[in-house]
Amino acid sequence: MYFGLSEEQSFFQDNVKKYLEEHATIDNIKHITSGDKKNLSAEIHQGLLNLGINGLLIPEEFGGLGLDLLFAAVVSEALGGGVGPTPFIAPYVMAPTAIKHAGSKTQQENYLSKIATNEYRFGVGFSEFIGKRNDAGITFSDNVLDGRAMFVLDTNDATHLLLADEKGQIFVVDAKSTDLEIVKLTTVDKTRQYTEVICKNLEAELLEHSSDSINPINQAIDAGRIMLAADSLGASQTMIDKAVDYAKERRQFGRAIGSFQAVKHMCAEMAADLEPCYALVWHAAHCHDHSPAEARLMACHAKAHVSEMSKGIAKKATEVHGGMGFTDLLGLHYWFKRIGLNRQILGSPELIREEAYQAQV
């Protein structure tokens, strides 16, 4: 039996890759991360919207493409490979998934249709459900929220936020409300934005079915974890490609360093470690929509395993480059840091393995 990407999925992924190669060059990434060209990220994002990334998971009845999570995974893989400096996981994967499963029919029609037309863009803060910190957390009473949420994803240019409490209830809030304070967090990954959100008597709308069970928020988190795994998968492949190309060009002692056995082994080990990850991520994305019984377990396995493999690949690829791998000239650190933060967002491998165990009990 052959299991791989369909012709349509490969075509869509190739379009995203080609767009990023042309517009998200390493020089442009440097300008964006240094703050020299603040509008450049928005321009790149608009180009991706023109490709239809905002409507991937929106049902056709609400104006979207009605595709499954595997289509989103190939986009996330391309964004990781090109260190795409734009929002994707929160507004176009986690938010639609949460609203589809937790929202009432009226809420679905209101929010999903406006995501499809790019009228609404969501940031997502579910960290307090995954692992609430002692000095953080969200409380809901009398239709208002109080407290704070850490590591909220993709709040840049967001019109609304989805926040969750430790019970798994999901709330929609206006990102422009005066009762909401958004504090930008400094992380190693400068290609994406992470924030702390502070709520003070903030008016909120509860997604109707999120109080029935924790299934809706778990499905949104699983989708986000698969996207992070796919992002790290793409970033790892780029690091391998760059390491191999460098090994062919860099000469030492009168010969290319790629001819040395130690370097050959490092490149071969990276390729061997990454290759099985493709099937794992694709299968996890497929299960999310088509095999509910194993969906959560596969999402946990994909995020935990790819996080570990990509961490090792990032280290080896940098070592192949020698001292040049640590310089800003090559920009290898953008992929290295993105992989490192992907490992921790929405749960570290250690926490996720515990969840995988619970899913099998």
pLDDT at 39: 85
In a domain, 236, yes or no: yes
- Residue 2 banded pLDDT, cuts 50, 70, 90: low
Which of 95, 116, 137 delimits the end of a domain?
Answer: 116
**Would the pLDDT of 186 be above 80?**
yes
**Would the pLDDT of 135 be above 80?**
no
The SS3 assignment for 122 reads strand
Q: Are residues 187 and 237 in the same domain?
A: no
Give whichever of 229-243, 254-268, 315-329 has the largest mean pLDDT: 229-243
In CATH, what number is assigned to the domain containing residue 30?
1.10.540.10
Neighbours of 143 (CB within 10 A): 11
Q: Identify the CA nearest to 354 among candidates 279, 311, 297, 294.
A: 297
For 287-300, b/e burial (b = at least 16 CB within 10 A) is bbeeeeeebbbbbb
Q: Could you tell me the residue range of the domain that residue 105 belongs to?
A: 7-116
In a domain, 279, yes or no: yes
Instruction: Tell me the per-residue pLDDT of 102-128, one tens digit each, with 9 for 90 and over.
Output: 999 999 999 999 999 999 999 999 988
- Residue 138 banded pLDDT, cuts 50, 70, 90: confident
Q: Are residues 312 and 345 in the same domain?
A: yes
For the residues 193-206, what does the mean pLDDT come to?
Answer: 93
Q: Are residues 320 and 241 in the same domain?
A: yes
Q: Are residues 296 and 340 in the same domain?
A: yes
Residue 117 and residue 109: Cα distance in Å, rounded? 12
Q: Are residues 252 and 152 in the same domain?
A: no
Which of 65, 82, 116 delimits the end of a domain?
Answer: 116
**Would the pLDDT of 1 be above 70?**
no
Q: Are residues 221 and 354 in the same domain?
A: yes
In a domain, 2, yes or no: no
Of 251 and 301, the structure prediction assigns the larger pLDDT to 301
> What are the distances in angstroms from CA 65 to CA 60, 62, 72, 220, 284?
5, 9, 11, 18, 21
- Measured between alpha carbons, how far apart are the two ends of the chain, in Å? 30
Q: Are residues 203 and 220 in the same domain?
A: no
In a domain, 127, yes or no: yes
Q: Identify the CA nearest to 103 among candidates 162, 176, 144.
A: 162
Q: Which of 198-202, 277-281, 325-329 has the lowest mean pLDDT?
A: 325-329
Q: Are residues 128 and 91 in the same domain?
A: no
Q: Identify the CA nearest to 266 among candidates 285, 247, 238.
A: 247
Q: Per the structure, how many domains does the chain have?
A: 3
Q: Are residues 139 and 97 in the same domain?
A: no
| Element spanning 360, H or E | helix 349-360
In a domain, 1, yes or no: no
Q: Identify the CA nearest to 241 among candidates 321, 182, 179, 173.
A: 321
In CATH, what number is assigned to the domain containing residue 185?
2.40.110.10
Residue type, 146: D
pLDDT at 341: 96
Among all chains, which residue has been given the structure tokens 């060059």?
25
Q: Are residues 132 and 253 in the same domain?
A: no
Which of 84, 116, 148 delimits the end of a domain?
Answer: 116
Q: Are residues 246 and 334 in the same domain?
A: yes
